[in-house]
Structure 1
Amino acid sequence: MNEVIINGRFLTQEITGVQRYAHELMRHLDQLLIDGQIDSDQYSIILAVPPNTRDIPKYQRIKVKCIGYLQNNLWEQISLPLFARKKILFSPCNIAPIFGGDRQLLTIHDASVFGYPKTYTPMFLLKYRFILKTMGEIARIIFTDSDFSKKELMKYCSIPTEKIVVVPLGHEHILEIAADERILKKYNLSQRPYLFTVGSQSAHKNYKGVMLATNSIEKKDFDLIVAGGTFSKVFKNMDASPDPTYVNLGYVNDQELRALYEHAACFIYASFYEGFGLPPLEAMACGCPVIASDIPALREVCGDVAVYCDPNNPDDIKKIIQAVLSNADLMNKMKCAGIKQAQKFNWEYTTIQIWDKITSMID
């Protein structure tokens, strides 16, 4: 029996795109075991999690083991490698134990700590840059989400091209849940069209640029709806009198998120730096037209179905918003084309590609 250990620290973290990736991989690996596409007589998949981990998903075939007594970084760097020694260890969320040996696979989702460092604190930069460079040397295989991220990791971490495997993310998760439209009533979002954006509060998401663009539009007949966290740090230099057409929803659950995508006039993602771009993919899957930054990773995800803007130019963002929202025929074409584009990305393909590389280390 070949045991494959998966780093389950993501279960202790809030869900962003990185944790979503890990959750979907686990769910689909479990399904591959159920369907017999992974031979359960030959392979055992163990999800190792820190002590006191809450809300552990119920898998049918994947085993979950709480190990050690440490927490957070110490658990990941000490308890996990002690448990996984001499076994295959896969870490899906950027960080892996630096003393875990070379029988490791790691997903590094992007190189933003090098490519857009002003988003992060000095200590965070120091930690992540050290670990990414170190694991680039130690790990046998590095997965990443896009060709752009592969080039960035080769550039900043000197990882050989043959070691990096590009495996994009999937879209189906957003369609497998029922939309909770109560959020529309809660925030009175059915009265006027709204422009929607979502993500973390990191500066590279460029919410300030979007607000500058929308605030400069005279006789604005739409609202700007933002979801995904608190934004006080991002907007600390903005006018103290908030625009009444701007609504910050903060955290929303997946059911609410789907409803917001489906009812938005358009989704905007004016980020300065991305390794992939899961929110635009989700938006397209839900039939929402997408305005995206003209940056390489988003081009890979959205293809020719999004309308692109210069994230460094609020005036250009403004013009693109006005051009899209004033053209009903264009928006309808974007909706249909976006659904087809999203179907090119699926979690089963992602999972099979990763599992094939895991088994190649065993065989």
Structure 2
Amino acid sequence: MTAMNKGKNSLSFKIRSGEQTSINSDPTFFSDKNFVIINWRDILNPKAGGAERYCYEMARRLASDGIKVTWITSGFEGAPSQEYHEGIKILRVGNVFTVYLAMIGKFIRNRKNSYILESVNAIPFLSAMLSRKNKTVMIHHLIPYSVFREKLGFLAPVAYFLQNVLNPVLYRKARVITNSESTKKELLDQGYRDVNIVKTGVDSGFYKPTIKMDYIVAPGPLRPWKNHSDILTAHSILPDNFHLFIFGAAESEGYLQLLKAKAISLGTRERVHFLGKISDDEKRKLFSISKLSFGASVKEGWGLSNMESQSFGCPVVAYDVPGVRDSVRNYVTGRLVEFGNITALASSATELLTNSSLLNQYSERSISWSRNFQWQECYRDFLNATVTYGRKLKAEAPENRFDLFARLRAR
């Protein structure tokens, strides 16, 4: 719980590791200890991804430290309009397309005395115009045009314009956080001025089996731009004893059936297992007994599933694309090959899988690398980029003449 030192100008949060982060306090700012997160999805949404996982890990730690956390997001089938999850108040309105307008009322009612984290997924929330202070913007990654085209069809140019033209104007001077050097460089090239990297964490491995099976994993979610089709082809080139386990929520039933049909056409259907969305416990068990993890994404913000794989000693073979090249160390914890080169994907996997000594070296280094990314460290980075930063600005800012006028009128 929160440990508050009733000193004159300080408020400190007790970090669960036992360390403390002191935050410059002003009773007129953030006085109710509120934190508002705006994200198009929440962690309970079946299609939640890496950005939602990051927001959730930060939000539940804020709540544990006594902060009132409100998460404004879109609704989904079967979800209540309001619920509490691990101390986080989740408010749902509209859907993934209408939430950008529908959230205005809830945002206005909750923004007072709050620090705001706006998680931007291409389309900006109107909070960009309703609140410019006491706010940090999170941009997980920039979405390629090919993904917009696949997902939105003729509306792709609109989304691309919003992400690459309008957003850099709206958030040019905003405090921006992201998870990788690759994304930071892209954002700076677009004209963002204050871009900061915050680590993404991974849970420590729970299972330490004495033997690895001839299993390969391909984490989801299953979306066209994750290119599981390429993974199926690469797997078909490997020796017949290796089984492929594909898991994660599918973009649609139709897309899942396309992948299953591809496995049939390759003659590998009996060695390919589509598990759907599985629990965290099942996922950890699978990582812990698998020898290798495949990735074929067009791009990632960071590649959380890569870090999860590596934390269980499961090296990654993937395409060398932004985000992935940040989370996987080429020729150290995995192999990165040219995008679209399925033959190279398969040959790199074969080299590791058929050389147990080499595979063990990669496995050990993967575990060591993943230990640099613990959620508690990420939380400290997050506090420094949000609440601590906001209080610093408040302490350094000269008094606004309109604020002074309002105080004089109040007298």
TM range (shorter): 0.7 to 0.9
Q: Which of 154, 159, 177 is 2:191 aligned to?
A: 159
Cα deviation 1:248-292 (Å, max 9, x = unaligned): 111111111101100112111132322211111001111212223
The CA distance in 2 between the partners of 1:55 and 1:325, in whole Å, is 46
User: Are residues 1:223 and 2:243 paired?
Assistant: yes
Name 2:363's counterpart in structure 1: 335
Which runs of structure 2 are paired with 1:240-251 in the superposition (5 Å)? 240-241=264-265, 243=268, 244-251=270-277
Kindly indicate whether residue 291 of structure 2 is the aligned counterpart of residue 270 of structure 1.
no
Question: C-alpha separation between the residues in 2 aligned to 1:121 and 1:263?
Answer: 38
Q: How far apart, in 2, do the equivalents of 1:213 and 1:73 lie?
A: 36
**Counterpart in 1 of 2:407?**
none
SS at match of 2:350: helix
* SS state at 1:311 partner: coil
- Aligned match of 1:102: 132
Within-5 A mapping of 1:1-363 = 1=27, 2=30, 3-7=34-38, 9-11=41-43, 13-14=45-46, 15-31=48-64, 33=65, 44-49=67-72, 52-53=80-81, 56-59=84-87, 64=89, 66=91, 73-77=97-101, 78-85=104-111, 87-92=114-119, 94=121, 96-98=124-126, 99-103=129-133, 104-114=135-145, 117-122=148-153, 123=155, 126-127=158-159, 129-130=161-162, 133-139=165-171, 140-155=174-189, 158-160=190-192, 162-172=193-203, 175=205, 193-217=214-238, 219-230=239-250, 231-232=255-256, 235=259, 238=262, 240-241=264-265, 243=268, 244-303=270-329, 304-359=332-387, 360-362=389-391, 363=394
Is the Cα contact below 8 Å between 1:195 and 1:268 reproduced in 2? yes
8 Å contact from structure 2 (residues 220, 248) kept in 1: yes
- 2:390 partner letter: M
Give percent identity, aligned residues only. 19
Distance 1:12-1:334 versus aligned 2 partners, 3 A rule: closer
Aligned in 2, Cα 1:134/1:56: closer, same or farther, shift over 3 Å? farther
Q: Spell out, residue by residue over 1:279-319, the C-alpha distance to the aligned partner (whole angstroms, 9 max, x if none).
A: 11001111212223223422221223212233311111111
Q: Partner of 1:112: helix, strand, or coil?
A: coil
Alignment gaps of 5+ in structure 2:
1-26, 395-411
CA offset at residue 232 of structure 1?
2.8
TM-score (normalised: structure 1)? 0.80
**Structure 1 CA distance for aligned equivalents of residues 179 and 277 of structure 2:** 25
What secondary structure does 2:125 align onto? Answer: coil
Kept in 2, the 8 Å contact 1:265–1:325? The answer is yes
Distance change in 2, residues 1:342/1:74 (3 Å):
same
| Cα deviation, residue 71, structure 1 | 5.7
Name the CA distance, whole Å, in 2 between partners of 1:109 and 1:254: 22
* Root-mean-square deviation (Å): 3.1
Flag the 1:90–1:80 CA change in 2: closer, same or farther, 3 A: farther
Cα distance in 1 for residues equivalent to 2:150 and 2:220: 14
List per-residue Cα deviations over 1:104-123 (Å, max 9, x = no partner).
32211111244754443234
- Larger C-alpha radius of gyration, 1 or 2? 2
Cα contact 2:136–2:176 (8 A) shared by 1: yes
Equivalent residue, structure 2, for 1:38: none
- 1:81 and 1:100 in contact (8 A); partners too: no
Aligned length: 333
**Cα separation, 1, equivalents of 2:186 and 2:221:** 22
Distance of 1:97 and 1:350 partners within structure 2: 25
Q: Would the alpha carbon gap of residues 71 and 216 (structure 1) be closer, same or farther in structure 2, given more than 3 Å must change?
A: closer
Q: Which amino acid aligns with 1:238?
A: K
Q: Which moved more, 1:327-336 or 1:126-135?
A: 126-135
SS state at 1:89 partner: strand
Contact 2:136 2:175 in 1 (8 A): yes
Counterpart residue identity of residue 262, structure 1: S
Letter of the 1:102 partner, please give it: R
Hey, what's the Cα distance between the residues in 2 that align with 1:357 and 1:48? 18
Range with bigger deviation, 235-244 or 135-144: 235-244
Query: Closer, same or farther in 2 for the Cα pair 1:53/1:211, shift >3 Å?
Result: same
8 Å CA contact 2:72–2:107 kept in 1: the answer is: no
Q: Deviations over 1:183-206 (max 9, x none)?
A: xxxxxxx99611111112222212
